[in-house]
Structure 1
Amino acid sequence: MTETVRRPRVHRPGLDSQGYIEREGSLGGIPHAFRPVVAAARDRLLDVLGPRLDSAYLYGSVPRGTARVGRSDLDLLVALRDEPDDAGRDAVQALGADLDRRFGQIDGVGTLLYSRARLLSDLETYDLGWFVACLCTPLLGEDLAEYLPRYRPDSRLARETNGDLALLLPRWRDRAAAARAPRERLRLVRYTSRHLVRTGFTLVMPRWNGWTSDLHEMAGAFAQYYPERAGQLRSAAVLGYRPSADPEILRTYVDDLGPWLAGEYTRVHGTKAPRPD
């Protein structure tokens, strides 16, 4: 009788046993130093948005448990029962500024504001929907992930998450030219560095067949397929955590690495479906 040879199951980072991306982050994983900030954010969101609030989420390093005191920002995503307006945007911006002033543990607050309808729309299923279902930790209200599918690290997901880099580069160029103060440049370098590393990672994500939110791991995965650009992405990963105000970094991003990455992304995965905004 021939014995069946069973190959050992290869565990892919960030995936469950069926190959779907696992949801990252948890309220229980929030570092102790950041728990007062999260509690204040939760209470203030209820006060500021009232009945307009459908649900709210944390994302980023705080719910992943990797936030660093005095260096990490607090990232929030808020779903409204109606479409966001200027009053709602101003309210959450003021809320973020207030939290930033009150809590030295954080370096800024970023809040994404969308309607429930948009987050659950067909157009956003493989972009904002995936973001909610896989990268966001429920904080308030109903969890919209219950209405969304499970996700694999495939080309469709790559295209719809980061297939619009070419549209962003002109805006980055304008923001870089306008950023005079070192603090402005620091924040812009941090943001653009992270965005480029994540785009480089999702470019190779279907081949790598896994998921991670760690910038160094992302750059390492990218390096396996594009060794000639590996040094640039590894440097961007470092700057994503510890940014520099050197304006030459932004120039390199918008004139060299960014355009190359946008072109290669389009070649491999195509272009992201147009959005109304």
Structure 2
Amino acid sequence: MAESVTRKGLDPQGRIEREGSLGRVPRAFRPVVASARDRLLGTFGARLHSAYLYGSIPRGTARVGRSDLDLLVALREEPTDADRAGARALGEAVDREFPQIDGVGTLLYGRARLLSAAETYDMGWFVACLCTPLLGEDLAEHLPRYRPGSRLARETNGDLALLLPRWRRRIAEAADTEAARRPLVRFMSRHLVRTGFTLVMPRWNGWTSDLTEMAEAFGAYYPGRAEQMRVAAARGREPAGDAAVLRSYVDDLGPWLAGEYARVHGVKGQDLDLDLDLH
């Protein structure tokens, strides 16, 4: 245990270890995973290249009745509208069948896109380090081994400035109720905490998906914003649909974080030298 904590999610060579495994799936969620696996095969058939779990269920930290099932599906071709409709129907069916989950989210990508140069530091890294193989050939075999460097930080979360206008529109268009705002608070809180963490990730020199650890790592380098990030981490776990919270995210914490990110790491998509381990 002490050794894994010291390495902070890295292997002995300083590369990010893959988090999660099927062996860590809590017993209560194993029937959910089995049902999703079978439904994926029935929904996509020969178009399916591979499928993955990610999030709290394969990390072993899922909470019954609170956690959702997160899936990533790689198709042999780019997904179609029919594929997206099939994924939605699959998620709705699994969500209805199993009360221990609170929703199903499915990301759909074509195999070629996930392995493209443009996605190497974004969705490629996501598959290689944050996804647990469930079906098919593991695309991680075709991807690099990653270190927690500046380019990884930039390509995973260096687009916050572009997202903020969309967030403002989503807030404006949401119904003026606590229930309608709650998922926005949850989503934006988690995104800001993860962005804050990846801002400091190269200096912290490690990886974690735990929101509390992310906020604490960030706070060690930005004490003036530490409490904001700790509160955001708490809201990411237990959100309340407070309109003032959403305004603070898009008017204060978000713009500051986007500016600091650009200053430290640059803007996503910049053509800078690679800092991954290709061996």
The TM-score with structure 2 as length reference comes to 0.93
Confirm or deny that 1:200 pairs with 2:192: no
User: For the residues of structure 2 that align with 1:240 and 1:179, how far apart are their CA atoms?
Assistant: 18
- Give, in angstroms, the shift of residue 12 of structure 1: 2.6
CA distance in 2, matches of 1:140, 1:69: 24
Of 48, 56, 62 in structure 2, the residue corresponding to residue 61 of structure 1 is 56
RMSD after superposition: 1.3
1:254 and 1:93 map into 2 onto residues whose CA distance is: 29
Secondary structure in structure 2 of the residue aligned to 1:123: helix
Aligned pair partner of 2:46 in 43, 46, 51: 51
- Cα distance in 1 for residues equivalent to 2:33 and 2:17: 23
Give the conservation status (yes or no) of the 8 Å contact 1:55–1:139.
yes
CA distance in 1, matches of 2:171, 2:97: 29
Structure 1 residues 19-42: Cα deviation after superposition (integer angstroms, max 9, x where no partner) = 000000000100011111111110
SS in 1 for 2:17: coil
Instruction: Name the count of aligned residue pairs.
Output: 266
Separation (CA, whole Å) in 2 of partners of 1:138 and 1:262: 33
1:99 aligned to 89, 94, 98, which one?
94
Matches of 2:182 and 2:25, distance apart in 1: 25
Instruction: Report the counterpart of residue 235 of structure 1 in structure 2.
Output: 231
Match status 1:167 vs 2:162: yes
Mapping of residues 1-277 of structure 1, within 5 Å: 11-180=6-175, 181-273=177-269
What is the DSSP-based 3-state SS (H/G/I as helix, E as strand, rest coil) of the residue aligned with 2:7?
A: coil
> Do 1:53 and 1:79's aligned partners in 2 also have CA atoms closer than 8 Å?
yes
Deviations 1:154-204 (A, max 9, x none): 001000000001111111111112221433321111111111000000000
Measured in 2, the distance between the counterparts of 1:269 and 1:233 equals 19
Cα distance, 1:11 vs structure 2 = 3.1
Q: Which residue of 1 aligns with 2:274?
A: none
Which amino acid is 1:103 matched to? F
One-letter identity of the residue aligned with 2:145: R
Q: Give the Cα–Cα distance (whole angstroms) in 1 for the partners of residues 69 and 179 of structure 2.
A: 17
Q: Note the alpha carbon deviations across 1:69-110, whole angstroms, 9 max, x for none.
A: 011111000000001111111110121112112211111111
In the aligned structure 1, how far is the partner of 2:236 from the partner of 2:111?
30
Report sequence identity in percent: 75
SS at match of 1:224: helix
| 3-state secondary structure, aligned to 2:125 | helix
**SS of the counterpart of 1:11?**
helix
Give TM-score, length-normalised by structure 1.
0.94
**Which sections of structure 2, spanning at least 5 residues, go unmatched?**
271-279
Q: Distance in 2 between matches of 1:170 and 1:106?
A: 31
Which residue does the alignment assign to 1:6? none
Task: Find the residue that maps to 1:174 and give its secondary structure.
Answer: helix
Q: Is the CA contact 1:11–1:17 (under 8 Å) kept in the aligned structure 2?
A: no
Contact 1:23 1:135 in 2 (8 A): yes
Partner of 1:5: none
The list of structure 1 runs, each at least 4 consecutive aligned residues, that deviate by more than 4 angstroms after superposition, is: none
1:31-71 Cα offsets, whole Å, 9 max, x none, are 01111111111011111111111000000000000000011
Question: C-alpha distance in 1, partners of 2:174/2:63?
Answer: 25
Q: Which amino acid aligns with 1:140?
A: L
Greater mean deviation of Cα atoms: 62-71 or 245-254: 245-254
CA distance in 1, matches of 2:180, 2:14: 40
